[in-house]
């Protein structure tokens, strides 16, 4: 697989991320994708499980910022509801929104991880800035039609069964 498309970690979901391990790596900020990473695609509300996980992150001292390619109304409404900074219409994998998120969180590249479900937006964007990248499995198959097309290409560049344990490649 092309190196720039390869995440440092594969996990089943955000709930499988070992936060202590990230902390030990010096990670202080998490750039989080929204749809199919934190919630199912176009889901307007956060689950109790997500709210609990976000509380754990905050309690452990991590800063967070949602970075989504989705429209402003969707992203801003969701982020306001859960009390997290957000950047909408991010145009990932372009670097601008990732840099803005780091600025907003007060982190630099080596202190920042990107968590998302898409190789060609989240992982590529994070790797372009040499951030620590974590790929999660999409929460559902339901997603925007263009994303469904990109998933076919993703299958060609990802291992057919990526490891789901927290295994550092770095």
For every residue of 76-100, DSSP letters joined together read HHHHHHHT-EEE-S--TTSSHHHHH
What stretches of 62-165 show up as alpha helix (H) in DSSP? 72-82, 96-105, 124-128, 145-157
Fold designation for 3-157? Rossmann fold (3.40.50)
Q: What is d(CA 6, CA 132) in angstroms, rounded to the nearest whole number? A: 11
The domain segmentation of the chain, as residue ranges, is: 3-157
| Contact predicate 133/122, CB 8 Å | yes
pTM of the model: 0.86
Q: What is d(CA 138, CA 130) in angstroms, rounded to the nearest whole number? A: 23
| Contact predicate 61/94, CB 8 Å | no
The rounded percent of the chain whose pLDDT value lies above 90 is 72
What is the pLDDT, as a whole number, of residue 31?
98
Residue (of 29, 35, 1) closest to 131 by Cα position:
29
129 φ, ψ (degrees, to nearest 5): -105, 10
pLDDT(19) > 50: yes
Residue (of 128, 129, 132) closest to 114 by Cα position:
132
Q: What is d(CA 59, CA 153) in angstroms, rounded to the nearest whole number? A: 38
pLDDT tens by residue, 96-137: 999 999 999 999 999 999 999 999 999 999 999 999 999 998
pLDDT(148) > 80: no
User: Cis before residue 93, ω within 30 degrees of 0?
Assistant: yes
């Amino acid at each position: 697989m092309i190196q720039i498309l390869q995440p440092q970690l594969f996990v089943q979901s955000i709930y499988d991320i070992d936060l202590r391990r990230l902390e030990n790596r010096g990670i202080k900020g998490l750039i989080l994708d929204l749809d199919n990473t934190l919630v199912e695609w176009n889901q307007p509300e956060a689950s109790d499980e997500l709210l609990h996980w976000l509380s754990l992150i905050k309690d452990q001292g991590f800063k967070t910022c949602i970075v989504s390619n989705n429209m402003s109304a969707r992203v801003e409404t969701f982020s306001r509801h859960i009390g997290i900074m957000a950047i909408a219409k991010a145009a990932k994998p372009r670097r601008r929104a990732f840099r803005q998120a780091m600025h907003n969180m007060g982190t630099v590249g080596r202190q920042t991880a990107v968590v998302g479900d898409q190789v060609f937006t989240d992982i590529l964007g994070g790797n372009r800035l040499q951030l620590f990248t974590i790929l999660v499995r999409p929460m559902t198959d339901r997603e925007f039609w263009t994303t469904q097309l990109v998933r076919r290409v993703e299958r060609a560049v990802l291992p057919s069964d990526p490891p789901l344990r927290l295994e550092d490649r770095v």
